[in-house]
Amino acid sequence: MRRPESVEKLYLDFDGFFASVMQQAFPHLRGKPVGVIPFPVEGRGADSTCVIACSKEAKAAGCKNVMSVPVARELCPDIILVPQRVDLFRRAHNALLNEIRCEIPIEVVKSIDEMACKLDKATSADPQALAARIKRRIAANIGPFITCSIGFAANRLLAKIACKVDKPNGVTIWHPETMPGPLLMRPMSDVPGIGQSMQRRLDAAGLDNMISLWNSQPKHLRAIWGNVNGERMWYALHGYDLHAQPTQRGMYGHSRVLPPEWRDLDHAQASSRLLLVKAARRMRRGGYFANKLWLWLGIMDQSGWSATYNLPCVQDDQACLRALGNLWDKANKQLPKRTRLMMLSVTLGDLSPANERQLDLLLNDDPQRKKCETITNTIDSLNQKFGKRVVTVGPWVTPPGGYAGGKIAYNRIPSAEDFW
């Protein structure tokens, strides 16, 4: 395994992405504490929802991303609540990527506001200058209210940790010859892959700080992780060049916080149909078939309800919606009629790639199934050609706040089709 002797990776993370995009787009929000909420609500109606992202001014008052509106209001009485604008976030994402690409090719887009690049000889010799060029270009061509933090290091994991050191609007360069000094000053929670449960396992193994983690052995971390990722973590922290393992898609899903007037079972069911159709459409674009459907309902003041349905390796809307109908029959039987729901999610999982589809022979001969697949493919191409949803299967009632599938998520960049 190679251990680079110079910085080879850049990691870039936009600062408070959603709130700063709103401030850039709407001048009256600039310099003010802003909280982004999932959908438009009037006055005190917002009390039943939560702030999903907040501006640095709101953070300075103690607000955090994902905080209930009453708590955020108590900490910051002047907070301005604005409904999310997913279309705007997506356009900002694409525009920002284009600006960065003018300076350096992007190796991987990690989320809506994070990406990584591989440096060449010239950029590696002067990372500071590259960071300055990227920041200057974004300020000039997109706007100065969207800022980013940049980390440079021997590999992507270290660059990502470095990126968090000097937020917001910082640049941190960890030259291999200066390591591990600056890394050992960071809390373990800064290491991607060490969440609360992994931290507990590490604590139990006596590795409760960065120095002991650094001084551990690869096989020891492998044992704690229970798989090869622990060993990979050790080599990455020690500055080795690791190649990311190809990830295989595991699922396609959507979730949504329900607007207050949509929290009964009937509206939730209508909402889940939209989410499922959108998830199924993304799955088809990805070339997969699903073997399982999950429905999860988040009930007010209680833990959730969930159920799964085994699918016979399908991707057409009709089969997915029929399975969803079955899950709702079960939900309606088990849950009291007046149940109030807060959130729901639908997920298509246990995926098979189109080229490995192991269809039951009987099923493959099923003319009804073939017909459904043809209809679904025809609907997809009509929608592709004429835009949006010229054809849908069954009713399509858009909930308040719109964009059933374009919910903001850090780990998935919505594509234009998700807004139909």
CB of 93 or CB of 369, closer to Mg ion: 93
Taking residues 201 to 220 in sequence order and writing x for each that binds Mg ion by CB under 5 A, - otherwise, the string is --------------------
Residue type at position 35: G
CB of 113 to Mg ion, least distance (A): 4
Q: Between the CA of residue 278 and those of 41, 272, 335, what are the distances in Å?
A: 25, 10, 26
Q: E strand or H helix at 21, and its extent?
A: helix 17-25
How crowded is the C-beta side of 148, counted as CA atoms within 13 Å? 29
Rounded distance, CA 84 to CA 6, Å?
A: 41
Which single residue is written with the structure tokens 């973590």?
Answer: 233
Q: How far is CA 54 from the centre of its chain?
A: 17
The residues with which 288 forms a beta bridge, in sequence order, are 353
What's the closest the beta carbon of residue 334 comes to Mg ion, in angstroms?
40
Pick from 217, 126, 244: which is nearest to 175 by CA? 126
Cα angle 213, 179, 216; round to 5: 20
The single residue among 13, 103, 317, 380 that binds Mg ion, judged by CB under 5 A, is 13
Consecutive H or E run containing 68? strand 67-68
Cα–Cα distance, 172 to 136 (Å, whole number): 17
Give the residue with the Cβ less far from Mg ion, 17 or 174.
17
Q: Which residue among 8, 57, 103, 114 is the active-site one? A: 114
Which amino acid type is present at position 417? Answer: E
Identify residues 320-339 at the interface with Mg ion (CB under 5 A). Answer: none
Beta carbon nearer to Mg ion, 111 or 209: 111
Binding mask 174-193 for Mg ion (x = CB under 5 A): --------------------
Nearer CB in complex with Mg ion: 93/256: 93
Q: How far apart are CA 150 and CA 116, in angstroms?
A: 10
DSSP 156: H
Minimum CB separation from Mg ion for residue 59, in Å?
12
Q: Which of residues 241-260 bind Mg ion (CB under 5 A)?
A: none
CB of 222 to Mg ion, least distance (A): 31
Binding pattern for the stretch 272-301 against Mg ion, x by CB under 5 A and - elsewhere: ------------------------------
**Stretch of 9-17, 51-59, 93-101, 325-333 lying at the interface with Mg ion (CB under 5 A):** 9-17
Chain residue whose CB lies nearest Mg ion: 113
14 versus 328: smaller Cβ distance to Mg ion: 14
**Minimum distance between the CB of residue 89 and Mg ion, rounded to whole angstroms?**
12
Provide, rounded to whole angstroms, the least separation between the CB of residue 326 and Mg ion. Answer: 40
Angle at 233 between CA 192 and CA 174, to 5 degrees: 70
In the complex, the smallest distance separating the C-beta of residue 54 from Mg ion, rounded to whole angstroms, is 12
Q: What are the φ/ψ torsions at residue 338 (nearest 5 degrees)?
A: -90, 15
Minimum gap (Å) between residue 417 Cβ and Mg ion: 25
Q: Which residues of 151-177 are buried (b: 16+ CB within 10 A; e: fewer)?
A: bbbbbbbbbbbbbbbebeebbbbbebe
Nearer to Mg ion, 113 or 418 (CB): 113
Binding residues among 98-137 for Mg ion as defined by CB under 5 A: 113
In terms of CB distance, is 89 or 328 closer to Mg ion?
89
Residue 2, both tokens: 């190679």
Identity of the residue numbered 171: V
Helix (H, G, I), strand (E, B) or coil at 65: coil
Nearer to Mg ion, 17 or 262 (CB): 17
Q: Which residues contact 396 (CB under 8 A, 6 or more apart)?
A: 274, 389
92 touches Mg ion by CB under 5 A? no
| Token reading at 178 | 């200066």
Q: Does residue 177 have an active-site annotation?
A: no
Residues of this chain that bind Mg ion (CB under 5 A) = 13-14, 17, 113
Active site residues: 114
